[in-house]
A = this chain, B = another copy of it.
Amino acid sequence: MPTQEHMKQVLQTYIDAFNAGDAAAISGLYAEDAVIEDPVGNPPMSGRAAIEEFYTNAIAGGAKLSLDGPIRGSHGDRAAMAFTIDIPGMRIRAIDVMTFGADGKIVRMDAHWGPDDIAKT
């Protein structure tokens, strides 16, 4: 199982790489067959190619991420973070939970944000 330090560093790298516009660096944090459900309740997508395209599009839309507070670990294979996504004209509040594989890659990401968590700015 990955260490707490590793999982938290991966989530911080996720934020930093996103804000640096580096979709390839983000997709590299994921396992090849990882699944992301963003938002929870929508059909999940899987595979690193689809994941990289997802982040490429999000970055192209001008989104920037900022943590609402410290990244949390667990006593198992998961870590979580509450953050704010600022897109020109829009703000989304989300909580992401990442599940890790034994090799330290993210195998699953669940993004919790609902229709009421988007506001015009």
Contacts and interface: CB of A to CB of B under 8 A. Distances in A.
A55 B115 CA distance: 31
A74 B116 contact: no
B68 A82 contact: yes
Taking the full assembly, how many copies of this chain does it contain? 2
Given A40-B78, A95-B82, A4 B73 contact: no
Nearest to A113: B72
Contact of A113 (B5, B73, B95): B73
A88 interface: no
Contacts of A94: 72
A62 interface: no
24 contacts: A4-B116, A5-B116, A8-B116, A39-B76, A40-B78, A41-B77, A42-B76, A68-B68, A68-B69, A72-B82, A72-B94, A72-B95, A72-B114, A73-B112, A73-B114, A73-B115, A73-B116, A74-B113, A74-B114, A75-B115, A78-B110, A82-B95, A95-B97, A97-B110
